[in-house]
Amino acid sequence: MPDSSTEPTARATPFSPYVALRHLVRSVPLVVGPSTSIRETLLLLDKTHADAVVVIDDQSRVPLGIITLHDVLRRVAIEAGDLQAPIAAVMTGGLITLPADSTAHQASVMMVRRGLHHLVLTEADGRYYNLVSQTDLYTLPGAQSTDLVKAILAARDLPTLVALAGDIRALVGRLVAERVSADALCNRLSSLNDLLTLQVIELVAGQYDLPYVQWCWLVFGSEGRLEQTLATDQDNGLIFAADSDEQAAALREAFLPFARAVNVALDACGFPLCKGNIMASNPQWCLSVDEWRAAFFGWLESPQPDALLNSSIFFDLRGLYGQESLANDLRSWLLARAHSYPIFLRAMVENTLNWESPLSWWKGFRTGLDKDFPNTIDLKKHGSRPFVDAARVYALARQIPDTSTVERLRVTGEQTGVAASDMATMIDAFQHIQRLRLEQQVHAGGDALSNRVDPDELHELDRLILKESLKQVASLQKRLIREYAPA
């Protein structure tokens, strides 16, 4: 029989591309069993004013298929289907599903790439959770219908993707000129870059005979956090399933040529090769599940400051292409352990506190911190990075699965009882600095000054807000010291 109230409705949550889907969907799950008649299903759709219903197994509650009003029109009315026939006869099978704890961003990108109007969400054990529709998501605000997105999805060769990468940067330049907010800018840029990178990986993968094992392309740093700007190089890796050290070594050798080709293709698209060689083409970062765990264990158990400084971006890992559960499981494994290593957390805090404020004691700007670039402030090193580093520490210490700085701070505030207004001020400060970075990158055209700004050249209001934003870094670091004071 039809069932429209098998699970509680998700709590209302303000939309964010980083929020878990289980907190975003607002409707109660609408489901029917496979033997339910088409007539009963139609009556249920009419009664609830819904446009889709999921067919689930009566015993296991695993989703079997979906039926939409469009399906009903075509398969029942036009094709003269029998209304007494079971709904299983006309449902769409072969469902594409996504875990309910995936982000709105992940769902939006998947729906755009696959041309889906609805996406079935499942629990970790495969049971049906709920249905999310395009109207629930606007992770790519206004972008789903643009010619740019359609062109990316239709691209079938690297030169086309290279040209489209330039179009993405041009679009962001126009949005910067329109004074679009930093969160919307970074969200749009990261979403479009995700689509482009997915197309690059898929294009290259078609040229290689890859091992038939579970694997996933990982992204770290700003891409992992969905905080990419126009001056972003590559930080990526690859994870795969292997049963032994010997098999892992053999699989690595098989994956490396493919990974190298992807890195080269991304470089051609305007994502420079990582100077620190944190790329999937480096054997050090093309690892099996066990090898990745061993790498993280090394950082947890022997937290050398320099090693942590160079490895911090790995703690922002996100799965982009392939078996994303490998990335999700690795993150869950890490979060279950990191908080129980106080020496590691203190070392992370010490690295976070290694920050020289660009404000003088009388709260004016100090622009002589780098003799090679006088009269400027590095908005990444002295502006956004302290927020990113502090939020990362909180995520590891408090087992927060989110990878974005904004969500990490927001959840930390909720868990620690920080006043919502105080945390909102902190987040606004971070986003203001991000917007200034993007503006400067557009004007600098990608040269060495792309993250630097001369405060004297800023509008008076921007200069004032920048000063107040930098004060928030000191406030955030004081909170860290109180909670994780270095020994």
Mean pLDDT, residues 154-165 taken together: 95
Please say if the pLDDT value at position 319 is more than 70: yes
Q: What is the pTM of this model?
A: 0.85
Would you place residue 368 in the very low, low, confident or very high pLDDT band (cuts 50, 70, 90)?
Answer: low
Quote the pLDDT of residue 264.
Answer: 98
- Structural domain for 116, as ranges: 21-136
Would you place residue 144 in the very low, low, confident or very high pLDDT band (cuts 50, 70, 90)?
Answer: very low
Please say if the pLDDT value at position 147 is more than 80: no
- The torsion angle over the Cα atoms of residues 290, 294, 297 and 301, rounded to 10 degrees, is 150
Alpha-carbon distances of 403 from 78, 219, 331, 364, rounded to whole Å = 47, 11, 10, 33
- The candidate with the shortest Cα–Cα distance to 66, out of 119, 109, 113, 13, is 119
Q: Is 322 helix (H, G, I), strand (E, B) or coil?
A: strand
Rounded Cα gap, residues 69 and 73, in angstroms:
6
Helix residue ranges per DSSP H, 398-419:
405-416
Please say if the pLDDT value at position 150 is more than 60: yes
Q: Is residue 14 part of a domain?
A: no
Greater model confidence, 296 or 80: 296
Phi–psi pair at 82, nearest 5 degrees: -80, 120
The identity of residue 484, as a single letter, is Y
Q: Please indicate, yes or no, whether residues 168 and 206 belong to a single structural domain of this protein.
A: yes
Mean pLDDT, residues 358-375 taken together: 76
452 DSSP assignment: E
Helix (H) or strand (E) holding 453: strand 452-453
- pLDDT tens track for 86-99: 888 888 888 889 88
- The candidate with the shortest Cα–Cα distance to 287, out of 337, 237, 243, is 237
Please say if the pLDDT value at position 374 is more than 90: no
Mean pLDDT, residues 52-58 taken together: 92
Q: Please indicate, yes or no, whether residues 114 and 151 belong to a single structural domain of this protein.
A: no
Q: Is residue 343 part of a domain?
A: no
The distance of Cα 310 from the centroid of its chain, to the nearest Å, equals 21
The CATH number of the domain where 111 resides is what? 3.10.580.10
Q: Please indicate, yes or no, whether residues 191 and 291 belong to a single structural domain of this protein.
A: yes
Q: Please indicate, yes or no, whether residues 355 and 457 belong to a single structural domain of this protein.
A: yes
Q: Please indicate, yes or no, whether residues 400 and 454 belong to a single structural domain of this protein.
A: yes
Quote the pLDDT of residue 7.
Answer: 42
Mean pLDDT, residues 225-247 taken together: 93
- pLDDT tens track for 64-84: 999 887 777 666 665 556 788
Q: Is residue 196 part of a domain?
A: yes
| C-alpha angle 372-358-361 in degrees, rounded to nearest 5 | 130
Three-state DSSP string of 301-316: HCCCHHHHHHHHHHHH
Supply 389's token pair.
């580093």
100 and 128 Cβ atoms separated by less than 8 Å: no
Q: Please indicate, yes or no, whether residues 407 and 459 belong to a single structural domain of this protein.
A: yes
